[in-house]
């Protein structure tokens, strides 16, 4: 039986960072915590090296199971990507079952992605510009009873293509891969994906299933974030192993 903290299942995807990023919230518009800055710099570097023509800049962040810190990591990645660059960045809250980005940015979600997909509002009217430096936000929008019915592959491809004409980078905060079927559609529409895994919680076979679902969608997995890892011996020793 595989132990819960067995990280071998994500090493083949490439671990981008092993820090507790979900506990290190960045104040919107404020400076990054110096302890997590290097970790986000590695994530951004991987995203930037991925962006080669003819790929578009839509990146999905998703976890294997709920509660692994995806929304915080997606938000901070989008904030970091928007700072110090001329490119436009939009953060899309595609977790229609449990949205959170509107709360973090202290804005309403009366219109958002779900409403655009249902055809009740236009995409441009649903986008909230300048929620942070160089960053726009597309909230989840009003609650919907059945996200898979509106988060279809064709509809999401259309949204991503439309956003690509407006922004250079699209960071998508998605739901858990192994639980909710719409995540596969989001992965199909994205150019690349980053898998967030909580150390010592998510079992190896669950991570393998998440990787399989993403791979089957055709998305390129850029790497994995092993979040909330606990070092039972000093971390400097881990780095020498």
Distance CA 178, CA 180 (A): 6
Share of the chain above pLDDT 90, in %: 51
- Encode pLDDT of 166-192 as tens digits: 998 999 999 999 999 999 999 999 989
- Encode pLDDT of 189-224 as tens digits: 998 999 998 877 778 888 899 999 999 999 999 988
Residues β-bridged to residue 226: 197
- Encode pLDDT of 111-151 as tens digits: 999 999 999 999 999 999 988 888 999 999 998 888 999 99
Which pLDDT value is given to residue 115?
95
Which pLDDT value is given to residue 233?
45
Q: Which residue has the tokens 């039986």?
A: 1
Q: Could you tell me what percentage of the chain is helix, strand and coil, using 3-state DSSP and rounding each to the nearest 5? A: 40, 20, 45
Share of the chain above pLDDT 70, in %: 76
- Encode pLDDT of 154-167 as tens digits: 999 999 999 999 99
Say yes or no to pLDDT of 1 above 70.
no
Nearest Cα to 59, choosing from 208, 198, 143, 170? 170
Q: Which two tokens stand for residue 125?
A: 């009217």
Vertex 20: Cα angle to 4 and 198 (nearest 5): 25
Alpha-helical (H) ranges within 58-98 are: 70-82
Model confidence at 24, in pLDDT bands (50, 70, 90)?
very low
């Amino acid at each position: 039986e595989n132990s819960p903290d067995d990280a071998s299942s994500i090493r083949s995807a490439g671990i981008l960072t092993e820090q507790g990023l979900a506990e290190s919230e960045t104040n919107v518009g404020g400076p990054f915590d110096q302890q997590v800055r290097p970790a986000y710099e590695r994530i951004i570097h991987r995203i930037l090296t991925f962006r080669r023509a003819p790929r578009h800049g839509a990146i999905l962040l998703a976890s294997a199971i709920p509660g692994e810190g995806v929304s915080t990591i997606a938000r901070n990645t989008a904030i970091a990507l928007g700072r110090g660059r001329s490119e436009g960045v939009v953060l899309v809250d595609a977790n229609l079952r449990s949205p959170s980005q509107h709360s973090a940015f202290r804005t309403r979600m009366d219109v958002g992605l779900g409403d655009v997909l249902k055809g009740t509002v236009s995409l441009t009217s649903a986008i909230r510009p300048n929620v942070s430096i160089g960053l726009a936000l597309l909230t989840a929008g009003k609650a919907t009873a059945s996200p898979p019915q509106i988060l279809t592959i064709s509809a999401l491809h259309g949204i991503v293509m439309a956003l690509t004409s407006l922004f250079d980078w699209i960071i998508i905060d998605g739901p858990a891969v192994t639980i909710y079927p719409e995540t596969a559609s989001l992965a199909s529409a994205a150019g690349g994906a980053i898998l967030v895994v909580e150390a010592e919680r998510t079992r190896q076979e669950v991570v393998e299933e998440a990787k399989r679902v993403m791979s089957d969608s055709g998305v390129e997995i850029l790497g994995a974030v092993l979040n909330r890892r606990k070092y039972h011996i000093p971390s400097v020793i881990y780095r020498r192993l």
